[in-house]
A = this chain, B = another copy of it.
Amino acid sequence: TRNIELAVVAGDGIGTEVVEQGLTVLEAALAGSDIAVATTDFDLGARRWHATGETLTDETLDAIKGHDAILLGAIGDPTVPSGVLERGLLLKLRFALDHYVNLRPNKLYQGVTSPLANPGDVDFVVVREGTEGPYVGNGGSIRTGTPHEVATEVSLNTAFGVERVVRYAFAQAARRERKHLTLVHKHNVLVNAGHLWRRTVEAVNAEFPEVTTDYLHVDAATIFLVTNPSRFDVIVTDNLFGDIITDEAAAITGGMGLAGSANINPDGAFPSMFEPIHGSAPDIAGQGKADPTATVLSVSMMLDHLGLTEQAVRVERAVAADLAERGGAVRTTAQVGVDLAARVRG
């Protein structure tokens, strides 16, 4: 028997609802196998912060580190000052666990309607850098709250950090049919960071001569996502640009309810973390309205990451089959989870 120790951070809002269904489907995927999953719930997020003032203590972080993987729902709540949970919990996990690859696939499944493309025509993956760029929390302000306030945000970019994520993206592209990599940045304005990214892509390309590359400024990328989303195969980009274009991409390929993601530490030094890219959606929380599909797709990515490829494929196929037959039917969060689990069991 193989034992998988899974840390579960359901978090805020719809996070708890979608994670519950993610776990239901995970159980179905492993039923009858000799793989057992032991989950540890970590009560983190708004409730914990209100009760204790804690976001993520060193002890909790250490406990999480002892696990094989993390399933995360959503972090953030309007009752908590903006940034406290995002910086103190979600980004702290991504940074402390060196999740330098934030993998965000975009596939337009059969049965999913998009005004901008036909099912089957869109299938790309964004490799978003996860530990650098404008997300490093390196900024501050002086004379705060006065007419003389100056506030800064510093984007930090290193050859070490850019190269490892670019190499990962090339490896992804090399494994795909079209073998194409698009760098998205803004090197005509952010000349320092941008040219580091550009030089790195050129250099690493030598290791992957079979991969073709091109470059788009981030503003142009937002246009092509609308006018020609099928042009993309693998996109590699920085932390902030990746945040922006993956939301737009999700809107174009079926909405936030379908977009899963993986925060990966490819070195295996720390557990990787799997989460839907949507937020805690306080407006619909607690109503059983959230679509758990994005979380279930994240579970599929987790299985794949853990080497359980067959189970990963089974989960993704269940989602694809469900989407193909979904039509306009309205189901509760739990019902979608139950239906997907049934399909996974087969």
In A201-242, which residues have CB < 8 Å from any B CB? 218-220, 222-223, 225-227, 240
A196's partner among B76, B151, B256 (CB-CB below 8 A) is: B151
A255 to chain B minimum Cβ distance, whole angstroms, is 8
A155's partner among B134, B144, B194, B252 (CB-CB below 8 A) is: B134
Closest to A147 in B: B159
A244 adjacent to B218 (CB under 8 Å):
yes
Which residue of A115, A116, A134, A255 has the most chain B CB atoms within 10 A of its CB atom?
A: A134
A120 CB–B CB distance under 8 Å: no
A189 adjacent to B151 (CB under 8 Å):
no
Closest to A277 in B: B219
A154 CB–B CB distance under 8 Å: yes
A81 to chain B minimum Cβ distance, whole angstroms, is 9
Closest to A159 in B: B149
Q: What CA separation (Å) do A144 and B194 show in the bound complex?
A: 12
B82 adjacent to A194 (CB under 8 Å):
yes
A245 CB–B CB distance under 8 Å: yes
Q: A65-97: contact bitstring with B at CB < 8 Å (1 yes, 0 no)?
A: 000000000001000001100110001000000
A341 CB–B CB distance under 8 Å: no
B115 adjacent to A191 (CB under 8 Å):
no
A153 CB–B CB distance under 8 Å: yes
Chain B neighbourhood of A86, CB < 8 A: 188-189
Among A18-26, A33-41, A135-143, A287-295, the stretch that binds chain B is A135-143
A306 CB–B CB distance under 8 Å: no
B196 adjacent to A222 (CB under 8 Å):
no
A222's partner among B145, B220, B248 (CB-CB below 8 A) is: B248
Contact (A87, B189) CB under 8 Å given A152-B155, A154-B153, A157-B151: yes
A147 to chain B minimum Cβ distance, whole angstroms, is 5
Chain B neighbourhood of A141, CB < 8 A: 192, 195-196
Chain B neighbourhood of A76, CB < 8 A: 188
Q: What CA separation (Å) do A187 and B84 show in the bound complex?
A: 10
B190 adjacent to A139 (CB under 8 Å):
yes
A175 CB–B CB distance under 8 Å: no
A60 CB–B CB distance under 8 Å: no
Q: What CA separation (Å) do A151 and B148 show in the bound complex?
A: 28
Chain B neighbourhood of A219, CB < 8 A: 243-244, 246-248
| A→B interface (CB under 8 Å) | 76, 82-83, 86-87, 91, 115-116, 134-135, 137, 139-141, 143-160, 163, 186-196, 198-199, 218-220, 222-223, 225-227, 240, 243-248, 250-252, 255-256, 279
15 A-B pairs with CB atoms under 8 Å apart are: A86-B188, A86-B189, A87-B188, A91-B189, A116-B116, A139-B191, A145-B199, A148-B160, A152-B156, A153-B192, A186-B243, A219-B248, A222-B251, A223-B248, A227-B251
Of all A-B residue pairs in the complex, the 7 with the closest CB atoms, nearest first, are A222-B248, A219-B247, A149-B159, A115-B115, A83-B191, A151-B192, A226-B251
A189-B240, A223-B250 are known; give 10 further A-B pairs, CB within 8 A: A82-B198, A83-B189, A134-B134, A146-B159, A151-B158, A152-B193, A186-B243, A219-B243, A223-B251, A225-B248
